[in-house]
Chains A and B, each alone.
Chain A
Amino acid sequence: MAEIAAARPPLAAVPAFARLRWLAAPLLALAAALAALSFGRYPLPAWETVHFLFAAAGIAPMAPDRYALLHNLIVEIRLPRVLAAILVGASLSVSGAAYQALFRNPLVSPGLLGVLAGASAGAALAIVAGADWLLVQTSAFVMGLAAVGIGVGIAHAFGGGSIIMLILGGILSGALFASLLTIVKYMADPYSQLPSIVYWLMGSLGQANFDDMAWAAIPMALGILLLCLMGRALDALAMGDDEARALGVPVTAVRLVTIAAATLISAMTVSIAGMIGWIGLIVPHIARLLVGPGNARLLPAAASLGAAFLLFADGLARNLSTAELPIGIVTELLGIPVFLIVLHRVRRGWTS
């Protein structure tokens, strides 16, 4: 190739700001987490939260009674909720981005594919049946998986898997599981179970407690990591199955792992925080505007931005009025204008 190499100028170094651009999303998430730990009914200045974190790590000294107060406030009250926001926001966004690459469809998300509806029907059914935590999660995952399968199956049976048919398939599958959920609600005890199901599905991070979060954190973090590692394979998949195979990508394995991981983590968000819409659709687009379409950078960026977005939305839900708003409503209200902006910016790329 020597004579060919001479034909081109040497590769220009990537400018520093472009190389560091991927840092923007994680830094934003970090700032949002710090803000979420500081704001609340008992507001703290951000520097005091940082001081406490250093003290907790044993780096900085702090008066014992002050430390005990802040420990109660930050670690016991706010941290589970902040962790829940980070995990749920990151999971929904990263699985939305992964679904979009996998199905070659910029308009799908865990919500639009029916995963969230399937998972909520599954979780509600298990709750009404009096199942334990693990069974609720399993039921949510299995029904979420069934919802994807039905949506994709409809799209392939009737439209060869085109963009619009996959969305219609997802809507149909979502409607099916929404009606299943209604049946479950109808069967539920109207005085105790029904209100709890309804409030839970509206979406709140306030139900998060440390034990549940500790259990959920491991599979969710693993799922997010696994999806992030799929980045390059998903890039090739965006070119089509045959091309991806010809490029050396084990398409079937990548597809199975991606669907399983994305469905698992988005189903788990339902049992932690109810149905939270829009994030899984819009955050991947914002991330794509920020770091480009390459999934190796896009998926981590989407995870960080999703965490930041949900921390911000939860901050609004907690602080906007004296009574807490359901976070699902806040993300929808925030999501619609953001989606309009994104739509305006990216619609050129959707014409095919």
Chain B
Amino acid sequence: MSHVVEARDLAIGYPNRRVGAGISLGIGHGEALCLLGPNGSGKTTLFKTLLGLLPPLAGEVRVLDEPVADWSRAAFARKVGYVPQAHAGLFPFTVEDIVLMGRAARIERFAAPSRHDREIAADCLAALGVGHLRTRVYTEISGGERQLTLIARALAQEPALLVMDEPTASLDFGNQIRVLEHVGRLRGRGIAVLMSTHQPEHALRVADRIALLAPGRLAGLGAPAEVATPDALADLYGVDAAAIVASLPALSRLQPPEKHAS
């Protein structure tokens, strides 16, 4: 199976600080892979390496079978969209301005966005249920609305892969569900999704596969029922397995009942 993005025996980190090593994973077209890991396990560092923003310390990242270093930034942006954690921003751009930035790699270098680009921007906002924000000022909307705006911006790139760094972290309950539903819909359209989250139940809800990133290494990769076991999660987060089961009722629906007896 061909992969949208593939990491081969990857070592990640900074020249003076190695964060992780021996990481191998691949994401197929239309697949949703969720990355779980405690704070400081290197989720963002791994994403930056996969996105070509940080050179790998060892190993290789390939996007659509080409080494990531061989891609021009513009060509890469037409295939891979990145949703960072929402930030306040500095200059009072409108939400439409921000989403139109997602069209940058599809517009001639010095040209202005066309009506078609503006329509795509409006569609991406409407698809996330925030079409009404289009003319609002980005610095004045709520954190959740900003996050949805940044997702709309990445969608405006019309990517084959969406990399989302804790997309539900700053959202209220309704917006969390909305984003997760949308992740499901993206898979339906053949867009692969790689997202990190601190909430295992979100991963259980949308992921085709789950990856567990322990500090320094990949602790597990596979179908949710195989990987997200109470014992594995307890190991990953350094807490009691019974506490995991108590906090995550969704787990019991995945696990065969006899496993709980142990």
Contact = CB atoms under 8 A, between A and B. Distances in A.
Interface of A: 1, 4-5, 7-8, 11, 101, 104-106, 229, 232-233, 235-236, 238-240, 242-243, 245-251, 288, 292-294, 296, 349-350, 352
In this complex, the member of A11, A106, A232, A352 whose beta carbon has the largest number of chain B beta carbons within 10 angstroms is: A232
B249 interface: no
B91 interface: yes
A292 B92 contact: yes
B177 to A, nearest CB: 18
Nearest to A12: B135
A14 to B, nearest CB: 10
A121 B207 CA distance: 61
A229 B112 CA distance: 10
14 contacts: A4-B126, A5-B126, A11-B115, A240-B84, A245-B52, A246-B51, A246-B77, A246-B84, A247-B77, A248-B73, A248-B77, A248-B157, A294-B93, A349-B92
Given A235-B97, A238-B90, A293-B93, 8 more contacts: A7-B131, A8-B123, A240-B84, A242-B84, A247-B153, A248-B104, A292-B97, A352-B90
Contacts of A7: 126-127, 131
A235 B87 contact: no
A5 B123 contact: yes
B53 A4 contact: no
Contact of A106 (B48, B51, B91): B91
Range of interface residues on chain B?
A: 35 or more
A351 B180 CA distance: 32
Contacts of A249: 73-74, 104
B55 interface: no
In this complex, the member of B48, B93, B102, B118 whose beta carbon has the largest number of chain A beta carbons within 10 angstroms is: B93
Contact of A248 (B53, B74, B97, B125): B74
Interface string B66-78: 0000001111111
A249 B52 CA distance: 13
B122 A106 contact: no
A248 B123 CA distance: 21
Contacts of B120: 1
Nearest to A101: B91
Nearest to B120: A1
Contacts of B139: 349, 352
Nearest to B115: A11
B122 A8 contact: yes
B101 A236 contact: yes
B107 A232 contact: yes
Interface of B: 48, 51-53, 72-78, 80-82, 84, 87-94, 97-98, 101-102, 104-105, 107, 110, 112, 115, 118-120, 122-123, 125-127, 131, 139, 153, 157
6 nearest A-B residue pairs (beta carbon): A248-B77, A248-B105, A246-B82, A8-B126, A293-B91, A248-B74
B76 A248 contact: yes
B157 A235 contact: no
A8 B120 CA distance: 11
A106 B53 contact: no
Given A243-B82, A243-B84, A248-B74, A292 B94 contact: yes
Given A4-B126, A4-B127, A7-B126, A238 B91 contact: yes
A235 B101 contact: yes
Nearest to A349: B92
Nearest to B119: A11
Nearest to A296: B112
B91 A349 contact: yes
A240 B87 contact: yes
A248 B101 CA distance: 10
A158 B122 CA distance: 42
Contacts of A242: 48, 51, 53, 82, 84
A146 to B, nearest CB: 27
A246 B157 CA distance: 10
Contacts of A243: 82, 84
Contacts of B91: 101, 106, 238, 288, 293, 349
Contacts of A105: 90
A349 B90 contact: yes
A321 B80 CA distance: 63
A247 B127 contact: no
Contacts of B115: 11
A245 B53 CA distance: 7
B89 A239 contact: yes
A8 B38 CA distance: 39
Nearest to A105: B90
Contacts of A292: 92-94, 97
B90 A247 contact: no
Contacts of A248: 73-78, 104-105, 157
Contacts of A350: 90
Contacts of B92: 292-293, 349
A236 B113 CA distance: 14
